[in-house]
């Protein structure tokens, strides 16, 4: 009878060990997959946007009034400001530069240029 209890106890211990080993293996696989997804996301985020020739907006005529649609411009400006507040001056500068390049006649360009200067001074500090 005592031997049967020991065999059952060893079986339970072996089963628990196997279950812990499987759980550890699954956790490591999920962690590796999450790291790969994060690396892929960061690679896509940091890659410069390729210009699309088929959907390129027409260049504004010299002396023309700035576009009235400030939606995308405001989104870029807000994203750059939030990146600066989050302690990412390099990303903030990139977003401001994208705003200036895409919308050179925008009302936000002067604000973006002054913010770029502020971020550059922040970037230069150790």
pTM of the model: 0.46
State the pLDDT at residue 122. 80
Q: What percent of the chain has pLDDT over 90?
A: 34
In this prediction, residues 12-40 reach a mean pLDDT of 95
Burial (0-12, 13-18, 19+ Cβ within 10 Å), 70: middle
Q: In whole angstroms, give the CA distance from residue 75 to residue 82.
A: 10
State the pLDDT at residue 56. 47
State the pLDDT at residue 88. 87
State the pLDDT at residue 44. 82
Instruction: Say which DSSP state 105 is in.
Output: T
If one compares 43 and 12, the residue with the highest pLDDT of the two is: 12
Q: Which of 28-37, 43-52, 68-77 has the lowest mean pLDDT?
A: 43-52
The mean of the pLDDT values for the chain is 83
């Amino acid at each position: 009878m005592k031997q049967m209890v020991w065999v059952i106890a060893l079986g339970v211990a072996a089963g628990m060990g196997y279950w812990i080993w499987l759980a550890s293996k699954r956790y490591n696989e999920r962690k590796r997959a999450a790291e790969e997804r994060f690396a892929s996301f960061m690679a896509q985020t940091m890659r410069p946007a390729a210009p699309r020739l088929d959907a390129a907006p027409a260049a504004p005529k010299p002396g023309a009034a700035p576009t009235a649609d400030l939606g995308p411009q405001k989104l870029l400006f807000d994203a750059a400001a939030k990146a600066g507040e989050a302690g990412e001056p390099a990303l903030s500068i990139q977003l401001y530069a994208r705003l200036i390049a895409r919308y050179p006649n925008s009302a936000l360009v002067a604000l973006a240029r002054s913010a770029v200067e502020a971020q550059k001074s922040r970037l230069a500090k150790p």
